[in-house]
Structure 1
């Protein structure tokens, strides 16, 4: 009986889910196929009202386009390079799925082998970029998707977002730009929920990185023309416009060309209408991120007298050092263009490189993008989404509210919460040390042993002693953090130290790029040591301050060990959501100080080497400064300490 109830409930849920898809109104659905082969055509551009709204077909040639009531009297256009543009009046909505056939566009040009004249076409297209592309800032509204497939071709995850992409004037060569993430969602489609991290940072920025015209990619960069061969392939049309199809690739014998592919240049205006290319072996080696293959496809659309970015398609495959192979796929689709004098987004609104959708906890919902144009997932992804949604709904009926959560996922979420509070940084500073010139001699003759050590050293006058610090912080609250740091001296002195304390940080500019006021209090211990060199140990039974030093070779140094409180004040400037530049001024309040002779084992297995220190004054240690017996070293610690550092937030 229980199984029967379960089946009936599952069937009821499937029926409800199916009704949820069919009840969507004012959505135009269709499939684009080749008129001769009747095979589906992916990545065809579908637009309404001169591309005021649009989308692209998925791997099955299907699309779904939300059409506002005000545009239902407009015309539908479907275009793809190599095919004749398809146009017709929009049918009354809602309507059944359209079947659209695209016909091959006849070739317009034959094969041309004269490289010089082809290069002239490319140069002319570059010269006309200010004439063909926006010369003032514009804003694109677009839909972004990324996913990763396992070796069997099944998607591991799906992440989607509604973006605003701010574009600078195309007169300026840049691959940078602001991105705002207006909405986003994710879904993890791994059936076993294996505890591996799937994280492709910076994906939404392909709206800028993939814009080869704006960034003047290498294959249209005059500085690299010498590395490429350019040829004219059989021509075609794009949106009923005749184009030059220019192929490019490395010249014979060169390894300096990173790309190979083809671009489409309109014959009348010399505008770049699109390109498709992949990285050469040299390009993969020169890439920041290692990969086995990387390919891109980019297209532009005409609007308000200029060409604007329409689509970016990006695919990367790589064998990772840890975890399964990566088969990343990302795409961006422009759904609206704002050509008004768009203000630059404020810092607080901008996405950063490490803002990825996979940290979004919004559950996958088929109605999430209601009212927005999206990219329709392929049939295999839709099936995975539906199966997972159906299983989650069934689990919620037959299990307690937290029983369906994998224990490993709960651990990972707790770990994520910990990492979100965790940061670390490196600092460079001037250690406050007054060092006069002096001559030192140190003699050590422990009673009862055969060791007779005598060493001389000169101290150079020094105004600046450099130290480096590595600091870890854990945020107790939004503004208060626990810190632990290690530090090391450089130049003629050596010495390690540590510090533990509390730091307070408050944002002074909450509506702009954060500028923090900083205050802290720490307890530190720092060693300042002068090396005295190495010497042979004639007595394998040597004991120093109760520690056995039996190695054949020993080293010695004379040092001060200082304990102090360290109150500090400073500022921090956020460079990005991950990085912060900090500067601090501190005052050292001395608590105690001691002078020591330290002896270390130099030979033997490094894991078992020991060291020992004798506090001065000591009967078996004779310290002289400028030939005068003393127990104090010539350098003195000053109170003021200045540091400059860079902090990194893990999350």
Structure 2
């Protein structure tokens, strides 16, 4: 009775359609063919073996199945009864319709017209694509070192606006290390699933379809073909003879009737690699295709490959691909901040053991047979290992517990600040004379102080989170403009998120103990006495320098605000009040010659009998600048994890 009751419920779920697409004449598998149902509302693509798997909702069982690929006639039939055996689909070649044309001007006119018609051919309102993403890094033999996969939602802005940006949500994901007899691999690829936006050459108006760069490219018409029974222009593009600015070379496909871009494939030129490949790649290639749905063309697939020789480790052969499996053209709400992946976040940290049923219920891109074999072999090895070494309670068999250092890094952040240091400085003339008893040194230096209302400072800080909101803080700071001086601060900071369901906006409070030196250089002079000792410190260098300084100890309570720019970066602004505890005036002498690691410094506290200090020709024991109380700063914080 239980199974009888479960039967209707199970029948409501998606039904899997499996198929294989081959060439009608050669019977060889056809990869990258587009497979769609219900006018491409849902779909997938064939893998390297020509196979596909499509999850069909019950509401679409009466719809038509379509298979299309550039250069072949479109296959269109009603869906077969499901469930059923693997469907075999044979595509017939469509004859080329156009010959070689060498009139470059008219070919460029086709490209210009296609760009002008983007508002007619592509979505003019936000669209959400459900997609499947996969990436891997292959060894020199072509075997993948790891596999990362994800089910993602890609939010697309209107194509009326030129952009390479967009939101990505990762709904489900896994990462599998496929290396044998090695320590677990560390994968820190950033922005992987964002190729759904970065590879969309129509949305971003890539250089080879940008009017500002047409002068750098040579466009030619190649023998034509068809796509989904539509005649297309096949246009090759590349740098003009002698041009070293063009970044790309390849070909694009434009429908003859609508002038819609149906796809393109291209690689980076040496100039493009120098300008655009941040990871110093040796080669980079892309292939992008679009599909029709509801009267517009939408992104279907992005294929991305990068090869590079790294300074450390084996050569890199990175491969990533994105496949649209469903399209939503309704008024899609932009995903909230907390749901969006960040471009510079590591794509996948999770480690999930391979399971052939992992993507059950979702349409994905089937892995090639060689990759499936690697996954299956690893699964068997893991099962064998689990017989001898059971997994620890609460952890995944492939997941390694984070080390103490990793746990420390997750609590660690650092940042840099700039601001105004509160120092009141009137214009004044300074003169100092110092003749230590028993030595031949006589220091007589003079300097002019300019009136100054604003003294700048920079600060570098480290924070370690004690709790979610409370952190220990250590910082160093330096003054700039006519005054110099280094300082440090130690204390606690508190941060509370006012918007836990949206982009974090923080209220900040802190209390620190600060010591800061404010000094005025007085220049360099020769040291006549190699045995000179000042305040118990030997200063035997041939050349010395002098400076007058104040050393301030204070408490620093602060209040401020913080705005998270990404999951790792935060913009902060603080207002602080200095509560002075003590202050002293000093004359400092520094060695300026000899090996810099062994140079010494000595300070003489003022007032002192052998030091004559004058301000505007009047004897004094105080320097003219005065420490004020209010301090303002703005900065950027970075979280390691």
Q: TM-score, normalised by structure 2?
A: 0.94
Shift of 1:174: 1.0
User: Using a 3 Å threshold, how does the CA distance of structure 1 residues 196 and 632 change in structure 2: closer, same or farther?
Assistant: farther
Runs of 4+ in 1 over 6 A off after TM superposition: none
**Which residue in the other structure is 1:504 paired with?**
494
The reply to whether residue 347 of structure 1 matches residue 340 of structure 2 is no
**Which residue in the other structure is 2:7 paired with?**
none
**Which residue in the other structure is 1:203 paired with?**
192
State the distance in 1 between where 2:599 and 2:277 align.
41
User: Using a 3 Å threshold, how does the CA distance of structure 1 residues 553 and 358 change in structure 2: closer, same or farther?
Assistant: same
Shift of 1:533: 0.7
Once the two structures are overlaid, the 10-residue window that deviates more, 436-445 or 267-276, is 436-445
User: Using a 3 Å threshold, how does the CA distance of structure 1 residues 410 and 361 change in structure 2: closer, same or farther?
Assistant: closer
The reply to whether residue 316 of structure 1 matches residue 306 of structure 2 is yes
Cα deviation per residue 1:95-129 (whole Å; 9 max; x = unaligned)? 33333333332111000000110011111111111
CA contact (8 A) 1:184 1:357 kept: no
CA contact (8 A) 2:353 2:379 kept: no
- The alignment partner of 2:190 has SS state of coil
State the distance in 2 between where 1:410 and 1:376 align.
28
User: Using a 3 Å threshold, how does the CA distance of structure 1 residues 521 and 322 change in structure 2: closer, same or farther?
Assistant: farther
CA contact (8 A) 1:195 1:409 kept: no
Shift of 1:427: 0.6
The reply to whether residue 619 of structure 1 matches residue 609 of structure 2 is yes
The reply to whether residue 538 of structure 1 matches residue 528 of structure 2 is yes
User: Using a 3 Å threshold, how does the CA distance of structure 1 residues 428 and 257 change in structure 2: closer, same or farther?
Assistant: same
- The alignment partner of 2:203 has SS state of helix
Structure 1 spans left out of the alignment, 5+ residues: 1-23
**Which residue in the other structure is 1:268 paired with?**
257
One of 244, 264, 269 as aligned partner of 1:280: 269
Shift of 1:411: 7.8
State the distance in 2 between where 1:358 and 1:576 align.
17
Task: Give the aligned CA root-mean-square deviation in angstroms.
Answer: 2.1
Matched residues, number: 628
Q: Structure 2 matches for 1:433-472, cutoff 5 A?
A: 433-472=423-462
Cα deviation per residue 1:40-85 (whole Å; 9 max; x = unaligned)? 3221212223222211122222222222233333332222112222
**Which residue in the other structure is 2:546 paired with?**
556
**Which residue in the other structure is 1:482 paired with?**
472
**Which residue in the other structure is 2:5 paired with?**
none
State the distance in 1 between where 2:275 and 2:416 align.
28
- The alignment partner of 1:212 has SS state of coil
Shift of 1:511: 2.0
Once the two structures are overlaid, the 10-residue window that deviates more, 45-54 or 427-436, is 45-54
State the distance in 1 between where 2:135 and 2:603 align.
59
Q: Structure 2 matches for 1:273-422, cutoff 5 A?
A: 273-289=262-278, 290-402=280-392, 413-422=403-412
One of 14, 28, 33 as aligned partner of 1:44: 33
Shift of 1:38: 3.6
Q: TM-score, normalised by structure 1?
A: 0.93
- The alignment partner of 1:315 has SS state of strand
The reply to whether residue 142 of structure 1 matches residue 126 of structure 2 is no
**Which residue in the other structure is 1:610 paired with?**
600
Shift of 1:361: 4.0
State the distance in 2 between where 1:197 and 1:634 align.
57
State the distance in 1 between where 2:400 and 2:593 align.
49
State the distance in 1 between where 2:423 and 2:321 align.
57
Cα deviation per residue 1:9-40 (whole Å; 9 max; x = unaligned)? xxxxxxxxxxxxxxx99322233333344433
State the distance in 2 between where 1:184 and 1:401 align.
21
**Which residue in the other structure is 1:234 paired with?**
223
One of 594, 600, 609 as aligned partner of 2:584: 594
State the distance in 2 between where 1:301 and 1:108 align.
21
**Which residue in the other structure is 2:92 paired with?**
103
State the distance in 2 between where 1:496 and 1:195 align.
44
One of 625, 628, 636 as aligned partner of 1:638: 628
The reply to whether residue 57 of structure 1 matches residue 37 of structure 2 is no
State the distance in 1 between where 2:64 and 2:628 align.
79
User: Using a 3 Å threshold, how does the CA distance of structure 1 residues 615 and 411 change in structure 2: closer, same or farther?
Assistant: farther
CA contact (8 A) 2:35 2:43 kept: yes
Cα deviation per residue 1:513-572 (whole Å; 9 max; x = unaligned)? 211000001111111000011111112221122222111111111111111111000001
One of 571, 576, 581 as aligned partner of 1:581: 571
**Which residue in the other structure is 1:74 paired with?**
63
**Which residue in the other structure is 1:11 paired with?**
none
CA contact (8 A) 1:431 1:642 kept: yes
CA contact (8 A) 1:185 1:357 kept: no
Shift of 1:458: 0.8
State the distance in 1 between where 2:399 and 2:338 align.
31
User: Using a 3 Å threshold, how does the CA distance of structure 1 residues 448 and 427 change in structure 2: closer, same or farther?
Assistant: same
CA contact (8 A) 2:177 2:184 kept: no
